[in-house]
A and B are shown apart, each in its own frame.
Chain A
Amino acid sequence: MIRIVTLAPFDEGDIAFVIRTLYQAFGLGTEHVGERKLPAEAEGDDGRYDGPKLLEEVSPVRTFADDKVLYLATVPLSMKPGPLGEPPSYGFARQGGDRAVVSTARLPQRGVAEASIEAFRRRLARESVHYVGHLWDLHHCLDARCAMHPSWSPLLGDDPGHDLDSFCRDKSEQRIRLAKT
């Protein structure tokens, strides 16, 4: 089961689209649990929220074994800089863990036109599939059409796909089959 928790007000249509996409990608029941407050402890000096800390501090949701929780936020996220600098952060998930967070701060503006809303929804759904994929032990994918391709890659088009390629789909299905429940 995938449980979606919003950390800010979201449009119901956007949530419904994300739920539908996650169900299609992983074949798991998906539901919107509700809304929680952003943990103030995770906020940094620059106004960005530390991804790992946010997941630790956010108020928990009741889950069962193998449930995955996806938090949707609108605030920008930060992460610890690596040897070559800080990669752009669209979200954070612990590999093989049980909770992930996706931020809309780097996504295209939602706007008011139907086309821009559709583009926003598709991108939000893609990032959701990407970070839930990490929770199922998927790594980044070489195929730019796959949702597991790095979110900042220059190979991504304006409207990147939100489906998994066959390799990632097989791997995720295998992981889900091997899950305890």
Chain B
Amino acid sequence: MKGHTRRDDAREQPTLLPSNIQSAKELRPGDRVVYPNQGVCRVAGLEQKDIAGQRLEMVRMTREEDGAAVLVPMAKVSSVGLRRVSTAAEIETVFHFLAAVSSDPELDWKVRHRDNVERLIAGGVLGVAEVVKGLHSLSRIRPLPNKEREQYDGARHLLVSEVAVALGVPGNLGEDYVDYALNPPAGTRFQLKPPPKPIPISIPAYRRKKPVVAEEAEDLGLEELGVELPEEGAAAAGGAAAAGGEAEATGEEAAARPARAGKPARPAKPRKAAAGKPARKAAPRPKARKARKPAPRKKAAPRKAGRGGKRK
């Protein structure tokens, strides 16, 4: 549903979004059309083909770049996104868009990739220019990953070939024009027209980012609670009382602990590992030190008893 809405929005844009060819009857042999993601093709004619037991009427086209054959069933001409080659006026507007100051690129690669794919299919020449400009501005922030580098190269190839055909210049010259707009020499200033309105792409709710800060805070709190509770008991009660508390937590260790009743801090380490949260390695250390402090006091057991007597 949302994908349809976006394509409908794209088609509603003025002048720059070309009118897609709605019917095969509009095509004549020798016409030049742009097939999304394939580039400029020349219509060769109609022909019939038997495919899977069905007799289909197809439009035969040849890709200008390498002469590859492209066959489109007549019934699908309206849905594959075939469009006429842009006019020189439209190309000029695209150049003003390319040379304008670029907005911040989308940083979420999933959103960016999906948007770019849709732009290449349904966005017309402006959509292709948006992909080129977006990835170009992103490359100035950080190097593009290989997949996007290929996408950039492909989009750039489509744009250059359409520019060259529309302006009637060799492909290499079209590329120079594109790069002159994207990468002007130092000190060059263009007198630009207001750039065209970019194709609006609404981000559905399920693709929006969720804040992760709150989750981290919650995790921190839980971990602290899980670690602190038994140790506080150990530090407060000390000695045999602490050993008893740990015996409740881990039954297997309980048998070994009465012999070590004087060292309550050491058994705390295996219990943390058993909890399965190795991420908080820094937190237990100070607590372990706290727990070690009572140990020397126990060696001096008579003193403790004496103090206790005084308090009472």
- B106: CB under 8 A from chain A? no
Q: Is the CB of A154 within 8 A of B99?
A: no
Chain B neighbourhood of A52, CB < 8 A = 170, 173
Q: Is the CB of A84 within 8 A of B95?
A: yes
- A61: CB under 8 A from chain B? no
Q: Which of A79, A94, A96, A171 contacts B176 (CB 8 A)?
A: A79
Q: A84-B177, A84-B180 are known contacts. Are A152 and B144 too (CB-CB below 8 A)? A: no
Nearest chain B CB to A147's CB is how many angstroms away?
14
Cα A167 to Cα B144 with chains together (Å): 11
A76-126 residues at the B interface, CB under 8 angstroms: 79-80, 82-85, 87-89, 92-96
Q: Is the CB of B171 within 8 A of A82?
A: no
Cα A171 to Cα B190 with chains together (Å): 33
Nearest chain A CB to B172's CB is how many angstroms away?
5
Q: Is the CB of B95 within 8 A of A83?
A: yes
Q: Is the CB of B175 within 8 A of A95?
A: yes
Cα A171 to Cα B152 with chains together (Å): 14
Q: A88-B185, A152-B185, A167-B149 are known contacts. Are A140 and B171 too (CB-CB below 8 A)? A: no
Q: Is the CB of A82 within 8 A of B177?
A: yes
Q: Which of A83, A134, A139, A143 contacts B177 (CB 8 A)?
A: A83
Q: A79-B173, A83-B91, A95-B172 are known contacts. Are A155 and B180 too (CB-CB below 8 A)? A: no
Chain A neighbourhood of B190, CB < 8 A = 84-85
Q: Which of B92, B170, B181, B186 contacts A95 (CB 8 A)?
A: B170
16 example contacts (A-B, Cβ-Cβ < 8 A) are as follows A80-B169, A82-B177, A83-B96, A84-B96, A85-B190, A87-B179, A89-B176, A95-B170, A95-B172, A96-B171, A139-B160, A139-B175, A142-B139, A154-B184, A167-B146, A167-B149
What 17 additional pairs, Cβ within 8 angstroms, besides A139-B156, A142-B143?
A80-B169, A82-B95, A82-B169, A82-B173, A82-B177, A83-B177, A84-B181, A84-B190, A85-B190, A87-B176, A87-B180, A89-B176, A142-B152, A150-B176, A150-B179, A153-B185, A167-B146
Chain B neighbourhood of A134, CB < 8 A = 172
Q: Is the CB of A154 within 8 A of B186?
A: yes
Chain B neighbourhood of A167, CB < 8 A = 146, 149, 153
Q: Is the CB of B185 within 8 A of A142?
A: no
Chain B neighbourhood of A80, CB < 8 A = 169, 173
Nearest chain B CB to A77's CB is how many angstroms away?
12
Cα A132 to Cα B294 with chains together (Å): 79
Nearest A-chain residue to B146, judged by Cβ: A167
Q: A142-B139, A142-B144, A153-B183 are known contacts. Are A82 and B170 too (CB-CB below 8 A)? A: no
B147-171 residues at the A interface, CB under 8 angstroms: 149, 152-153, 156-157, 160, 167, 169-171
Chain A neighbourhood of B180, CB < 8 A = 82, 84-85, 87, 150, 152
B171-206 residues at the A interface, CB under 8 angstroms: 171-173, 175-177, 179-181, 183-186, 190
- B11: CB under 8 A from chain A? no
Interfacial residues, chain A to chain B (CB-CB below 8 A): 52, 79-80, 82-85, 87-89, 92-96, 134, 139-140, 142-143, 150, 152-155, 167, 171
- B290: CB under 8 A from chain A? no
Closest 9 CB pairs of A and B: A82-B177, A87-B180, A95-B171, A154-B186, A83-B95, A83-B92, A152-B185, A142-B139, A150-B179
Chain A neighbourhood of B146, CB < 8 A = 167
What are the interface flags for B130-152 relative to A under an 8 Å C-beta threshold, 1 for contact and 0 otherwise? 00000010010001101001001
Nearest A-chain residue to B138, judged by Cβ: A142
Chain A neighbourhood of B139, CB < 8 A = 142
What are the interface flags for B34-72 relative to A under an 8 Å C-beta threshold, 1 for contact and 0 otherwise? 000000000000000000000000000000000000000
Nearest B-chain residue to A86, judged by Cβ: B180
Cα A84 to Cα B98 with chains together (Å): 10
Q: A82-B167, A83-B95, A84-B99 are known contacts. Are A155 and B183 too (CB-CB below 8 A)? A: yes
Q: Is the CB of A139 within 8 A of B92?
A: no
Cα A79 to Cα B171 with chains together (Å): 13
Chain B neighbourhood of A79, CB < 8 A = 173, 176
Q: Is the CB of A93 within 8 A of B172?
A: yes
Cα A96 to Cα B179 with chains together (Å): 18
Q: A87-B180, A167-B146 are known contacts. Are A139 and B153 too (CB-CB below 8 A)? A: yes
Q: Is the CB of A92 within 8 A of B136?
A: no
Nearest B-chain residue to A90, judged by Cβ: B176
What are the interface flags for B85-108 relative to A under an 8 Å C-beta threshold, 1 for contact and 0 otherwise? 000000110011001000000000
